[in-house]
Amino acid sequence: MREDKHVAQATEDHHHQRQQNLATSLSSKLAKTWITTKIYIFVLFIFLLCASLSWIFTFVLGESRFQVTSVFTRNTNKSATTTTNIPKIIIKIPLNCTLLNNNTTQTCPSNYPTKFEPAISSSETCPDYFRWIHRDFKVWQKTGITRDTLEKARPHAHFRVVIKSGRLYVHQYEKAFQTRDVFTIWGILQLLRMYPGQIPDLELLFLCHDKPAIWKRDFKKDTWPPPPLFHYCGHRDAYDIVFPDWSFWGWPELNIKEWNKLSVALKEGNKRVKWEDRIPYAYWKGNPNVSPVRGELMRCNFSDKYDPMVRLYVQDWRSEIEKGFRGSNLEDQCTHRYKIYVEGNAWSVSEKYILSCDSMTLLVKPEYYDFFIRSMVPMKHYWPIRRNNKCRDLKFAVEWGNNNTEKAQVIGRQGSDYMMQNLEMKYVYDYMLYVLQGYGKLMKLDVTVPENATEVCSETMACPITDGGLIRQCMDDSLVMSPSIKAACNLPKPYGDNELKRILKKQESVKRRVRKWTDEYWNVRSGK
């Protein structure tokens, strides 16, 4: 860190040197009269302005966050009147895998920062999907969450997380599929490293299966309020609290990298094949056996009357694993102009990868939603496909896209931009932060660490894994190294009831229009 500061300083000195050299040579030529001297002063002033602007662009607006801090630190040092709690040096908290006293049990460091004031306050508003957070908690607004209410969720949960004074404790009830639970807990730990002191004390219960579990029909007056259960997806008939899924921190079993790295790889991959040069068909690859809607989709592959315009492939994970995933690199799958998203058993992790391809996404109407899809707009970010008319809708959409390549490209690009901008890891953490803060406010119970819970930190999770495998790799890649020097984005106002109705109505009318086009096309074809 100090080195960065020196680099910044040295570069600035270099600028000054250049300015002075230029000044000397300029002056020998121009300083003949008073007027030219004035011109020279003016020129020098402009030059200094440019130099400092370029310096600001390089270091303040540049990509490296650490350099940003070094600049900031120096500025505040100069006017050190109101900056008492702004750290002078950015804190780095690398994994400390040192074992104490030859004890083979990894312990959690006691010197984690417990408070960190982000030096840069946020001027940006969070993406629209944050506006749903408030609605997800609405059912508990009046009653709060009591011990009784919380414990009703216990039979559905894979684990309990207790956060107390910034430390995290886990009581695991049931092992989850693969490493879903591991990376979900890892994600919350990274949030704690990112925003020390900002996560309130709380107890939460987490479900790691595919489907939500707290169905509205089961909770009427006598069983009110429903228990709060954290889960990866929601449903209009369920009360589960939507939280980012494990794949943002990696899915090692399927060789899927954590989202920071993967989104960059996808961005690079998109540059490899230009949209016009992509195969003008709709692509889908996955496991068709997890849901009926996927099974039906597979039947769109063939028609003896017309070209169905789809390319569907069965993903055989077992053989992929044996082949070392050579055929399943996500960033190599952006080769078609259109990509189909269809749910699996519930929401599918594949959604963000499909939407990131710069291809127009053909979105088969989902039943379940994850935290970010709720603010996506049909015909802006994706093309809507009916569940019960998939094959015909798909063929029409592809043909339309091939007839209107520019418009199809725009939808594709807007979908990907939504992913790349609104789903940056910083926003994912900000979303988690606001969810946990909102949840913490509802706690009407004494947050206690249960007797069988163990303290968990990045060290206890990562350090014992020394096999050089992908699990540790995903952890190392997604480790939050420093508290965020930038504050969380500003939480936008929650949707008002009428506003939300208006938005949903508008979306419905867009979908209706698409249905009309499609039906007209097929009516003409069938000779009506």
Ligand X SMILES: *[C@@H]1O[C@H](CO)[C@@H](O)[C@H](O)[C@H]1NC(C)=O
Q: At 105, list the tokens.
A: 């049990």
Q: Any idea what DSSP says for residue 490?
A: B
Residues 6+ apart with CB under 8 A from 161: 168, 169, 170, 185, 188, 203, 204, 206
Closest to ligand X by CB, 77 or 121: 77
Q: How many CA atoms lie within 13 A of 240 on its CB side?
A: 29
Query: Least distance (Å) from ligand X to the CB of residue 105?
Result: 4
CA dihedral 444, 448, 453, 455 (to 10 degrees): 110
206: which strand partners? Answer: 159, 230
d(CA 48, CA 204): 56
Sign (positive or negative) of CA dihedral 486, 492, 494, 500: negative
Closest to ligand X by CB, 6 or 138: 6
Query: Least distance (Å) from ligand X to the CB of residue 127?
Result: 33
Identify the three-state secondary structure at position 88. Answer: coil
Closest to ligand X by CB, 101 or 498: 101
Run of H or E including 7: helix 2-30
Give the rounded distance of the alpha carbon of 394 from its chain centre.
28
Q: At 464, list the tokens.
A: 């014992």
Closest to ligand X by CB, 102 or 388: 102
Query: Least distance (Å) from ligand X to the CB of residue 99?
Result: 7
Query: Least distance (Å) from ligand X to the CB of residue 156?
Result: 16
Residue 145 burial (10 A CB sphere; 0-12, 13-18, 19+): buried
What type of residue is 155? P
Residue with tokens 């995903």: 474
Sign (positive or negative) of CA dihedral 519, 520, 523, 528: positive
d(CA 233, CA 192): 22
Return the beta strands (E) in 342-477 as ranges.
360-364, 368-369, 383-385, 454-456
Query: Least distance (Å) from ligand X to the CB of residue 208?
Result: 19
Run of H or E including 441: helix 425-442
The Cα diameter of the chain in Å comes to 94
Closest to ligand X by CB, 45 or 517: 517
Closest to ligand X by CB, 244 or 344: 344
Closest to ligand X by CB, 41 or 279: 279
Query: Least distance (Å) from ligand X to the CB of residue 304?
Result: 13
Run of H or E including 339: strand 336-341
Query: Least distance (Å) from ligand X to the CB of residue 308?
Result: 9
Query: Least distance (Å) from ligand X to the CB of residue 186?
Result: 20
Q: Using CB under 6 A, list all residues that contact ligand X.
A: 77, 80, 88, 96, 98, 100-103, 105, 107, 109, 111, 298, 301, 311-314, 396, 399-400, 403, 450-452, 521
Query: Least distance (Å) from ligand X to the CB of residue 95?
Result: 9
d(CA 234, CA 67): 40
Query: Least distance (Å) from ligand X to the CB of residue 27?
Result: 34
Query: Least distance (Å) from ligand X to the CB of residue 297?
Result: 10
Closest to ligand X by CB, 313 or 325: 313
d(CA 125, CA 490): 5
Closest to ligand X by CB, 383 or 396: 396
Closest to ligand X by CB, 151 or 253: 151
Closest to ligand X by CB, 102 or 165: 102
